[in-house]
Chains A and B, each alone.
Chain A
Amino acid sequence: MSYRVFTPQDYPLPYIIEDVGEWPIAKLTTDVDAFTAAVQKSVVDKLMKRFEHDHNLKNELEKVLYQERIRLTQTPWKADPKDERQFWNNIKSRIVRLDAAQGDALTTEEDILNEIVNRYTHEIVGRFDKGAFKFAGNILPLFFGRILNAAPGKWFKTLSANAKTIHEKIPITGDVEHIRSLAKKGTIIVVPTHFSNMDSIMVGWVLNELGLPAFTYGAGLNLFSIKLLSYFMSNLGAYKVDRRKKNGVYLETLKTYSREAIERGAHSIFFPGGTRSRSGALERKLKLGLLGTAVEAQKNNFKKFHNDTAPRIYVVPLIINYHFVLEAESLINDYLKETGKEKFIRENDDYSTSFGMVKFIFKFLSASSSLAMSFGTPMDVLGNHVDADGDSYNHLGQKISLKNYFMNNGELTDNQQREEEYTKILGERIVNQYFKHNVVLTSHLVCFCAFELIRKKYRHGDIFTLLRTPAEDVRIEEKDLLAAIERVKEQLKEMNKNNEVLISLELRFTNDKVIEHGMNNINLYHSRSPLLRSGDGYYYSEDLKLLYYYHNRLEGYKLEKYV
């Protein structure tokens, strides 16, 4: 099966649904009351059922209250609504009254639960505004194009005399036509890798270029305190996720919101890694909570439609490859600090004002040499391949009925544990695709080889000892680096032939050009360069941690032995 290949000139592609008002996400906003009511009812029903047997609902409510009161005092944000304290005080007194009024049906546990879920649902809900969308559509390309072309990166001058268009700078690979045709038949869940705060902007941009209707996704509540960002996000379908709230009722509401949106056909974006990759390596352990809502939504679709015409949900991995990541320094520091120590990484704000954010984006786009956006092959919610008609084929190429996965003894059944296992399977498939469709850039290759050479040369002690070594004491010879690059490059080409990884065009340069290209790109932004060449033909690093970070991008391919 072959799909149409688009050239940079073809973008942006026409929208698959011309009338923006007909987009699933627009319809969701039109029916927002029915939608939020459905979410609320579903959460309450589910929790009532869960606590039906052990009569622990009151216990659960008290736990929620306790956690919320701690949040109010310990981590207040300026985006928080003013009446929060009042709301939770009210909940508290009602829970207390629950004890006093036993047998009296004035206030029930279910009432209180309903009230909390109602508040959470309305806090989470996003909307989509046609006007804001058109406004963004007019403004943003100008904005992007302007900075991209106004400030070409250093290497452009050396390698190419011509300024490049955004589409030449950011090649889009993958079966785009396949994804477009599936988006007409069912609901798309895009699952991107997560390395940078730029990701959500880049993902939004690329999906729009593909001519797909707007996607919904969960954005950190803290981002909504930035006015400019908040305006766009709140009106373009983003819903709010408060990472401080880890109580069961909130998480259930969030998941139900996502599931209900998918069932109503809203194309969605999940970052299955949960948070930006701290180490710089491709995500191998995924957060399965949100992903599970796709599996559950698919089963519910089969339940609602009694035959095989039930709307399908398609999962599409997206791998974003940057030569450099703006936040690399703070990320790798987090990683080294947290390795084996703390479970949770605090969400640090790399930008917290509109100005800060614009500066961040500007830095990114103007310094950005090139990056690659690589779509994986679309799958069903079990990770099976799907063809252009949306039919599923298992790993043996046998055509299968997706519905069968949810059947037992000839009947469609609910089984949460089964769906959790299916979600794990889906997660494994996504990770496989991350590795397979990852585009190896020159900077990844150069950093990988350089760091592995250093690791081999200075092999006393653990990684922490090595990273603490004064940078000026660490250097490698040019001939070693050239030889290592040659070997790893050949292996990558071999793996590329076997469909195990993608490689960028520049990797076909001669080895010294590969080093030059990689180094130029990686050194564009960081004040202390991860890799430099000294006058006497040695390579050294001004920041070993950064070199380590970029090296990690090729971790997991078993390339170490080729260095």
Chain B
Amino acid sequence: MSEKRTVGVIGAGSFGSAIANLLAENCKVLLYERNPAVREAIMRDGKNRNHIMHQDIEVTDSLEEVASRCYLLFPVIPSQYFKSMILDFSKYLRPDHIVIHATKGFHCEFDIDTMKAQDLKLKQIKTMSELIREETGVVRIGCLAGPNLSAELAEHQPAATVIASRFDEVIHEGQHALRSDRFQVYGNKDLLGIELAGVLKNYVALASGALSGLGYGENARALLITRGMGEMIYIGKALGADKRSFLGMAGIGDLIATCSSPKSRNYSVGYRLAKGEKLEDVLGSMTEVAEGIRTLKIAKLIVDNTGANAPLLQMMNKVFFEGFDFDRAIKMLMRVHVSSDAEYLDL
């Protein structure tokens, strides 16, 4: 057998570390991290946060090195830093690179706090794959999304994910690099749908945390998850995604995981807010970014612009940013006129 190839991971955050460890079971991994302290900790202790780093992981501070040594690249960094990273990376990237990102957020070319829905052009909101396509010469692009809580991956618990791409080749490469006895990898051709599923589930997770914070139980959560998925389908369809993508691992699968787990960042933000903490305080105390808050604002712009049906999203914006009372919001949501069950499947 030939020597193991080297694949690149960009970003040694919690999820980036988990991905690097999964990859290291099949490949050599070159892990880019810009923070010297994190690099040093990995090199010195073989540890990063709660992850014990695989011995085949090498750390670097050079994007150029990653691009020149690896054909297969996994950027795993928060959405608001994604563009500056990809701009730095662009000059080293070539058409023979395959890029599979695992970032669950939108990129916006405008200030999300001042943008008005009627002035919005949908093109101004980009998924990460669109950003990669626009800012680099790479065409073989994919994304990775699914129920992958970093803490459980760190404990080597079994899990699965989805790799989506227009290119079969990207899916195969990703599966080949990531699959193991503890990690199953499904393929999907609807890149946009899978990216949207990964992003939109963030706000449903916020709501789920809030439900727990308010002391509600599993009936309420099941209601939330089911209707939340329906809402995601409405928004996804408005943007041109395939509804089936929301019924798979990256849609309902990820929803169940993030909405049930206090380990999820978005969940804990919702939980603490419902317990009465202030948004600024909650966000100020977190070491990593909760994408859900940004997603709430951006998804509202999309919904107001396209007229997609999303009462939960609307109500959460009121609660989180307009000082609306949680209990009142829930009462109003319970009064929303409902049609038949699972009507979103007819979209």
Interface residues of A (CB under 8 A from B): 382, 394-396, 398, 400-402, 404-405, 407-410, 415, 417-418, 421-422, 425
Contact = CB atoms under 8 A, between A and B. Distances in A.
A408 B167 CA distance: 12
B168 A409 contact: no
Max chain A C-beta neighbours (<10 A), residue from B90, B91, B139 = B139
B132 to A, nearest CB: 12
A368 B134 CA distance: 43
Contacts of B71: 408-410
B156 to A, nearest CB: 28
Nearest to B91: A398
Contact of A417 (B72, B91, B95, B167): B167
Interface size class of B (residues with CB under 8 A): 20 to 34
Given A408-B71, A425-B139, A401 B168 contact: no
B173 interface: yes
B96 A404 contact: yes
Max chain A C-beta neighbours (<10 A), residue from B96, B135, B168, B169 = B96
9 contacts: A394-B95, A394-B137, A398-B91, A400-B95, A402-B95, A408-B71, A415-B169, A417-B169, A421-B166
Interface of B: 5, 71-72, 90-91, 94-96, 98, 134-137, 139-140, 166-169, 173
A401 B95 contact: yes
A401 B167 contact: no
Given A382-B139, A408-B71, A409-B5, A400 B169 contact: no
Contacts of B136: 396
Given A418-B168, A421-B167, A396 B139 contact: no
A421 B95 CA distance: 14
Contacts of B137: 394, 396, 398, 400
Given A407-B95, A415-B169, 10 more contacts: A382-B95, A394-B137, A396-B90, A396-B137, A409-B71, A410-B96, A415-B168, A417-B168, A418-B168, A421-B167
Mostly, the A contact residues are: mixed
A99 to B, nearest CB: 36
A409 B5 CA distance: 9
A410 B69 CA distance: 11
Contact of A396 (B72, B135, B166, B173): B135
B4 to A, nearest CB: 12
B64 to A, nearest CB: 15
Nearest to B93: A398
A404 B169 contact: no
Contacts of B72: 409
Nearest to B136: A396
Contacts of A396: 90, 135-137
Contacts of B139: 382, 405, 421-422, 425
Contact of B173 (A382, A404, A408): A408
A410 B95 CA distance: 11
A403 to B, nearest CB: 8
Contacts of B168: 415, 417-418
Contacts of A401: 94-95
